[in-house]
Chain A
């Protein structure tokens, strides 16, 4: 009926030091999908993403990407495994230029000429960044920094792009631009996993969503179905 999953998370338990944060999370993403993780604060949404890239320690369970086990990989191996990550709070290297930030996204490409080509091809997708390629990233607006963080995550043409709260703290105008960008990335064939506090907006663009609560799976369905689900509306979408 559908393609085999690109990402499969099975019975995942994870902990920050002695504090367990995830309890038996199950999740999968098919190639070309946008999947949203929603839920109240402290539900463990960001923790799921951070566990996938090895920033949070796995206690048990497994994570597979395209059939390969990637449970507990060192974080710096995430790009080799085909994962791009856009951290929460649009963290860019503020004292480095826009171009240097993108170069860091392709750090693993040792050939300087290939690296340059990769920077050019990402800059083409983000004309606003191209205009400001020599500017220190710290001087960009919030929306531009988020664009840069996304561009940096795309540098190694990842199989899966994970975004942690991509719309957090952005102006309504840039929020629209970012969500449109996510849709256009999917249309280009990217697979996206996003964590969003703006659940309504996230479910509008997502193909499917998972609702988490206190580190456990609560609901999962298509984006549209979750938007219309009475319980979800009452609890997470403000009526």
Chain B
């Protein structure tokens, strides 16, 4: 079979972009937190899984559709993130990287084990959206859950981008990420902005988790795989650069789709790290990073 037919390439590209959008949603939150407080939140994946279990609970207990669980999970995760920042993360802002990595790694272990205790290590899924549609004109098969997850991710990522670009609070978040001290003398309560930022990032992770339930099966341990990929994505796109995370996420989605299409799915798992090494050699500050940003 000739794999280089336009229809197959299109199929892989669309599938890759949709998967990449979910990565982008998750990685954008991680990058936002890094940009504002120079903290790599290794518990970001567990926040995503918290969103996933919330969606699973709401579906199993109340029959709530994941798209309706989405706003619930985002609000719950926002509040959780807001107070996590206040009680824990705020203490490590401005400390060295090792301290912040240890603390967030510890947090991720705690959250994962609470998940294992409460939900066990069984894999779950939410079979709410199923099936596929065939678009005759394009000769394209779209999996319904993947299309919905991809579109929701794109809309949410774009929404957060708009918020950062145009709203008063969003501009304050950008100001704090550029220079916290000068933001303070402008009258911005920097501590509060950091709480809002962490809450927002947690809500984005939670949303990614809800959408994840419709396309993958997951367990409390699934978050760890994702956070490593997200870390690769933000390094590829440019640390602290919101658009960089979006670009990096889409790129990884595409690369994984093409590698699993042409080589094998095992190789697709390695793509993130191969891209990471490539970018670190050719463009160490990331695709959209500035060379002096470090």
Contacts and interface: CB of A to CB of B under 8 A. Distances in A.
A75 B185 contact: yes
A209 interface: no
Interface in A71-95: 75-80, 85, 87, 91, 93-95
A105 B179 contact: no
Contacts of A105: 186
B185 A93 contact: no
Given A93-B174, A96-B174, A104-B172, A76 B181 contact: no
A31 B182 CA distance: 25
Interface in A92-143: 93-96, 100, 103-105, 107-108, 110, 112, 115
A94 B184 contact: no
A78 B187 contact: yes
Nearest to A155: B186
Nearest to B183: A104
A24 B185 CA distance: 25
B178 A107 contact: no
Contacts of A79: 185-187
A156 interface: yes
A55 interface: yes
A96 B184 CA distance: 16
A193 interface: no
A93 B179 contact: yes
Contacts of B182: 87, 91, 93
Interface residues of A, number: 26
B275 to A, nearest CB: 25
A53 interface: yes
Contacts of B183: 93, 104
B188 interface: yes
A208 interface: no
B175 A104 contact: yes
A105 B189 CA distance: 13
B171 interface: yes
A76 B178 contact: no
Contact of A76 (B168, B171, B174, B190): B190
Given A103-B171, A112-B168, A76 B189 contact: yes
B243 to A, nearest CB: 11
A55 B171 CA distance: 23
B187 A96 contact: no
A233 to B, nearest CB: 34
B178 A94 contact: yes
Interface string B156-196: 00000000000010011011001101111111111000000
B168 A53 contact: no
B188 A104 contact: yes
Given A96-B175, A112-B168, A104 B181 contact: no
A107 B179 contact: no
B175 A55 contact: no
Contacts of A91: 179, 182
A104 B190 contact: no
Contacts of B174: 93, 95-96, 100
Interface centre among A76, A85, A96, A112 (most CB of B within 10 A): A76
A218 to B, nearest CB: 28
17 contacts: A53-B185, A76-B185, A76-B186, A76-B187, A76-B188, A78-B187, A80-B187, A93-B174, A93-B182, A95-B178, A100-B174, A104-B175, A104-B183, A107-B168, A107-B175, A108-B187, A112-B168
Interface of A: 53, 55, 75-80, 85, 87, 91, 93-96, 100, 103-105, 107-108, 110, 112, 115, 152, 156
A-B pairs with lowest CB-CB distance, top 9: A79-B187, A75-B184, A108-B187, A85-B185, A93-B178, A104-B186, A76-B184, A107-B187, A76-B189
Given A91-B179, A93-B174, A96-B174, 20 more contacts: A75-B184, A75-B185, A76-B184, A78-B185, A78-B187, A79-B185, A79-B187, A85-B185, A93-B175, A93-B178, A93-B183, A95-B178, A96-B178, A103-B171, A104-B183, A105-B186, A107-B172, A107-B186, A112-B168, A115-B168
